[in-house]
Chain A
């Protein structure tokens, strides 16, 4: 047992005054994104029986398998930790599978850093880096759901869900320039080795803006292979890792999803995938605009990997996966930018087909 189990039990007791004999076990840290520490655990407690007409029923034991997501000392991307909790809460029952969330806690007296607690969902992520069949024979079925869920997300009115406090949530239009400003600032802040190709790509994106967005949408921000769970029968059970969620152009997520570093098009070619998205969202994909967002994705990825390198360099958290992302993924996207900029009028459309 670590010192965390009793602290979590104390927190749950604080949140659930009716609970008795709270026990935490099977507490393990798991791989769950690089920007937050993720732990799985089992919580058990007793609740007093109900009293009705002077009769009290027996107390019952409740068991829950939970996930605890805690802010790290430093991470890949600086994010407000309540974003993910807020989005999970808002999207419950809206057609996009997300875990049920219970508590968000910002007070560091409980677990030193902000955290939130949510249900552990069934299923597992596909290991697409190391397996040629990460979805165990369900590749196409998973890929179609992948696009359908993203299309469903794009169709949702964020204001109706009270998500106007997300980044860009209270503005309209010019999402491309706001996001480019956002990621360029992060890139410049964390850039270690000056990369002239990334600077050139940013200038090109500014000189060649995309058409206006088809609609303001909830943008997951990191919608890709590896950030969802699937069950043995080939069903996507949860879309995870929403800490970069914001409001913007839905094509941002589409372009990110087809980045060749996490190739979903291996399981379903790009065009039928886009058709699934179009049917679910009710909008047509402007292919030329998508090309702009693909180059943007490579710049955004470069900013994230630069942040990873800076995070590992300066500490205090020195996670191996963060260093590996900075080195290997950073190189991949620098090369991708060079390939795209070699023919910027036809930016890499062929890569995803």
Chain B
């Protein structure tokens, strides 16, 4: 089927922007139609790689947790080390966006804990993990940038 979700959404956005918004006399409604077209465009541009972005991110976080265990594992308090180890060996429960998002938020929550722990540690290992965290966060924001 060539009429993909992306194609349909881009077509709807163009109709809203070029035909409907200019035809509305009410300026508030016209602006809402123009903004709706922009939102649909951003959504359309996120469709194709939505799963790929999340799968990459979850894999990157699991790899980071594994490296963190090697570098600062003995310094971790409580059961954080155990939970990181479990996360390293976890996998995505499915490829639906909702499933990937749920797993992604679970891993991100663990990352917040790891980051806070690393900030209080001394030594080159802790600084290296801290730098890796920021690197992954930067790449994550870049990959998730809304495209209009």
Interface residues of A (CB under 8 A from B): 28-31, 193-197, 199-200, 203, 319-321, 323-324, 327-328, 331, 334-335, 338, 341-342
Contacts and interface: CB of A to CB of B under 8 A. Distances in A.
Interface of B: 26-28, 31-32, 35-36, 38-39, 42, 101, 104-105, 108-109, 111-112, 115-116, 119, 133-134, 137-138, 141, 144-146, 148
B35 A194 contact: no
Given A199-B115, A323-B39, 12 more contacts: A29-B26, A193-B101, A193-B108, A196-B108, A196-B137, A200-B115, A200-B116, A319-B32, A320-B35, A321-B32, A328-B42, A335-B145
A341 B131 CA distance: 11
Contact of A327 (B26, B108, B146): B146
Contacts of A323: 35, 39
A327 B148 CA distance: 11
7 A-B pairs closest in CB distance: A320-B35, A194-B108, A29-B28, A199-B112, A320-B32, A196-B111, A196-B112
Contacts of B134: 197, 338, 341-342
Contacts of B148: 328
B112 A321 contact: no
Contact of B28 (A30, A195, A324, A342): A30
Interface core residue of A31, A194, A203, A331 (most chain B CB under 10 Å): A194
A196 B138 contact: no
A56 to B, nearest CB: 43
B105 A331 contact: no
Nearest to A192: B105
B108 A320 contact: no
B116 A203 contact: yes
A196 B139 CA distance: 13
B133 A196 contact: yes
